[in-house]
Structure 1
Amino acid sequence: MIRCALPAAIAATLVCAGAVRAQERPIDAEKIILVGDSTTSVGSGWGGAFCGRHVLSSLACVNLGRQGRSTSTYRAEGSWDLALNEMATPGYGAVWVLIQFGHNDQPGKRSSTELATEFPANLRAYVDEARARGARPVLVTPLTRRSFSNGRLQDTLEPWAEAVRRVARETGAPLIDLHAASGDLVQSMGALEAARMAPGAPPPDFLSELQAGNSPAAPLAVATTAGPHDRHAEDFDYTHLGPEGAQVIAALVARDLIAAAPELAPRLAP
């Protein structure tokens, strides 16, 4: 058998490469899971932009936001079980869970919950169960709607935001007060500029009212092509987010998450 000796330079390179591999450290990876309604989910909320633009490669980002869900129906349909399974995946040094509900817990929604008791109890259960899985829950107050009257933002979600704040205080969970931050931002924009955050453009006959600081009633989606928990990607409304709105709100979430959980700062891009 003929043996060919490797040139000395190549042999030295292989030895060095092996030494480098021997010195490589295991990745120190963490995970963040987004739990919530359509204002969190991909295509209608801030979650897609957050995962796509604001996490570094050492932080896995899983968006489990679902359209049309409340604190009750998210659990009833099994989405919370999926989130719990994600929390239990081995290999991550820490798992964070951002939890944002409120829009579909309001009266008049088919998934509504009772504000004084059921809504906060559901949030506490999410916090307790996430911690039982070894995860770190972060509560998020609901994203503001963008409806104006005479130049003033009409705040219909403050009682639900306050309930989230109260549960955060009682449980010691970190809090992102997205309702306050987004409300301040939208008020500073005014009705016309804030309308650009929607998934679609406002109808032309809305423009004069928006310029005057008022928000005409948004047209309803065509029910024949949307499922019970779906919406049209290009519908104009005052709740959901298009690409521009998603980027703006995702930046707020990233900024305030760093303040609420400073240990995540090295893994986030503000």
Structure 2
Amino acid sequence: MALLEGFELTCNNNVVFLSPDTLFSPYKGYGFLFNTPISNNEDKHDSYPGNYTLPFAPSLIIQVENGNYQMKITFGSDHYDSCTTIIAGAGQRIHHLIHVAKGQSKTMLAAVPVHSNELRLAFTGTHPAIRSIELSRHHDIRTIFLCGDSTVVNQPSSQYPYTGWGQFLPSFITEHAVISNHARSGRSTKSFIKEKRLEEVEKQLKKNDIMLIQFGHNDEKDNKDGTQPFTSYTANLNTFIHTAKKHGAHPILVTPIHRRKFDQNEKIMNTHDNYLQAMKKVATKQNVSYIDLAMKSQSLFERLGPRTSKSLFMWLEPSEFGFHPERVMDDTHFSELGAFHIARFVAEGLIEIHNGKYTVRQ
């Protein structure tokens, strides 16, 4: 559902009132776009946030200079109980299911990066309601860089409801940090480096930034981009670590999530072979922190069991979602619910490592 009421927008010391039907105008530099095109390419960064919900929602476009911005958002309505999710850019959930009683208000902060001189937002939920948004640019916001594969990636809107955990991580992060998701589907440590994606991350790294590094699903494949756990995989992980440390950033290894594969005793089977052990060995030897998503995901999947755990993954009936006319039975990639839970584990890991100071909402 789209917004039913208008709200006040403050940006660059200008205050305007936006009604839900305010059309985007390049002259004004703000407004809503309806019927936005679907994106099929992770690298183009051209997805609209309103296309990460059904039915599609309008996407609010705000033209501002590139950089990191803090958003002060006041939720609520005088006319109904509200439940609001705010989505930015390529499906990043900034605030998730914010409930506010009729006549009440709730103000929350968040940080968002702006590229291509456009901030794109969408408002979804059973009854979304915004009273005001205040935008201010900040130069001291740290960045959490995500390096990984399709379980982490910002899925393009054509793949919805496929959801990488990197798309839900922003909803757990404070206004003192932004997420820069460089993960790409099908990548191993080898192909990520070979395609110069790590070089692109390095160009943006600053002191005290964080680099989360999760690979394994594609490293273990027997193809040209596969690696061996205790040789090439280990060497590549060391390259990521050295790159981060060189710039005063904090590398954190993240063990790959388990696939939903149960044995006859309803216990999760380790399909990652020695890659989990290899990553932990690198963390110990290099004296860097790691988040054990393999352990956390195994515990969750086994607690839910084979039947209920399907809801965390991409299991769809034919045409249940228009983008996926065929039946989908995917035990590797996440639904929105699954991505939410895995992102929560990552946030918990950050708290365990750094006490979450200035980074994770607590």
Task: Identify the TM-score tier after normalising by the shorter chain.
Answer: 0.7 to 0.9
1:139 corresponds to 2:253? yes
State the TM-score, normalized to the length of structure 1. 0.73
- Displacement of 1:199 after TM fit? 2.5
Q: State whether structure 2 residue 263 is matched by structure 1 residue 149.
A: yes
| Aligned-partner residue type, residue 229 of structure 2 | L
User: Which residue among 221, 237, 240 is the counterpart of 1:126?
Assistant: 240
Task: Kindly tell me the number of residue pairs found equivalent between the two proteins.
Answer: 213
Shift of 1:134: 2.0
Q: Report if the CA contact (8 A) 1:174-1:261 is conserved.
A: no
Equivalent positions of 1:181-260 (< 5 A) are 181-201=296-316, 235-260=328-353
Q: Give the structure with the higher percent strand.
A: 2
Runs of 4+ in 1 over 6 A off after TM superposition: 231-234
Partner of 2:146: 34
- Determine the structure 2 residue equivalent to 1:267: 359
Q: 1:195, 1:201 within 8 Å by CA — same for their partners in 2?
A: no
Q: Kindly tell me: are residues 190 and 98 of structure 1, through their superposed partners in 2, closer, same or farther at Cα, counting changes over 3 Å?
A: same
CA distance change for structure 1 residues 87 and 181 in 2, over 3 Å: closer, same or farther? same
Do structure 1's residue 74 and structure 2's residue 192 form an aligned pair?
A: yes
- Quote the residue 1:65 is aligned against: 183
User: Aligned-residue CA RMSD in angstroms?
Assistant: 2.4
Instruction: Give per-residue Cα distances to partners, 1:34-85, cap 9 Å, x unaligned.
Output: 111111112342111012x111121011111110000000011121111111
Question: TM-score normalised to the size of structure 2?
Answer: 0.55
Residue aligned with 1:31, SS: strand
User: Equivalents in 1 of 2:311, 2:182: separation in Å?
Assistant: 25
The answer as to whether partners of 2:255 and 2:292 remain within 8 angstroms in 1 is yes
- Of structures 1 and 2, the one scoring higher in RCO (CA 8 A, sep 6+) is 1
- Highest CA radius of gyration, 1 or 2? 1
Structure with greater helix share of residues:
1
Partner of 1:14: none
**Percentage of identical aligned residues:** 30
| Aligned equivalents of 2:313, 2:252: Cα separation in 1 | 26
Measure how far apart 1:202 and its partner are: 6.3
Aligned residue identity for 1:77: E
Deviations 1:209-256 (A, max 9, x none): xxxxxxxxxxxxxxxx9xxxxx99984311111101000110011011
CA contact under 8 A between 2:314 and 2:331: conserved in structure 1?
no
In 1, are the aligned partners of 2:219 and 2:225 still within 8 Å (CA)? Answer: yes
Question: Any gaps of 5 or more consecutive residues in structure 1?
Answer: 1-25, 204-224, 226-230
Q: Distance in 2 between matches of 1:157 and 1:30?
A: 32
Q: Residue in 1 aligned with 2:60?
A: none
Q: Deviations over 1:7-29 (max 9, x none)?
A: xxxxxxxxxxxxxxxxxxx7642
For the Cα contact (< 8 Å) 2:255–2:279, is it kept in 1? yes
Q: What are the ranges of 5 or more consecutive residues in structure 2 without an aligned counterpart?
A: 1-137, 156-162
CA 1:202–1:165: 2 relative to 1, 3 Å: farther
Cα separation, 1, equivalents of 2:343 and 2:325: 21
State whether residues 314 and 330 of structure 2, in contact with CA within 8 Å, keep that contact through their aligned partners in structure 1: yes
Tell me how far 1:158 sits from its aligned partner. Answer: 4.7
